[in-house]
Amino acid sequence: MASKLCDYCKSATATLFCRVDSAFLCSNCDSKIHATNKLASRHARVWLCEVCEQAPAHFTCKADAAALCVTCDHDIHSANPLARRHERVPITPVRQLGSCRQAQRGR
């Protein structure tokens, strides 16, 4: 399955999902769109799932060090008893590009 393209430029690979705009965005377009004013800069954004690269991430699996969408989280963590014991935490949306870049470096 191919990576999801940015809804704005239609050419770069999307890396973030803006919940308010319901848009998949690349880093460049996210920066342009959400730097336009203070209101836009407060939009909650989340990373895309690292497995399917098609849906917003909802959980981080600490054992796998991966951000996962609901479907991939279920598929992976229902595969066997060991995987079911992995600690998973809900994703906290980021609101500023600086926070996004800082979080990405920590992944």
Convert the pLDDT of each residue in 32-82 to its tens digit.
Answer: 999 888 889 899 999 999 999 999 999 999 999 999 999 999 999 999 999
Please give the domain boundaries of the chain with CATH numbers for all domains: 16-106 (3.30.40)
Convert the pLDDT of each residue in 4-33 to its tens digit.
Answer: 999 999 999 999 999 999 999 999 999 999
| CA–CA separation, 98 and 95 (whole Å) | 9
Amino acid occupying residue 40: A
pTM of the complete model: 0.77
Chain centroid, CA 29 distance in Å? 15
| CA–CA separation, 84 and 101 (whole Å) | 30
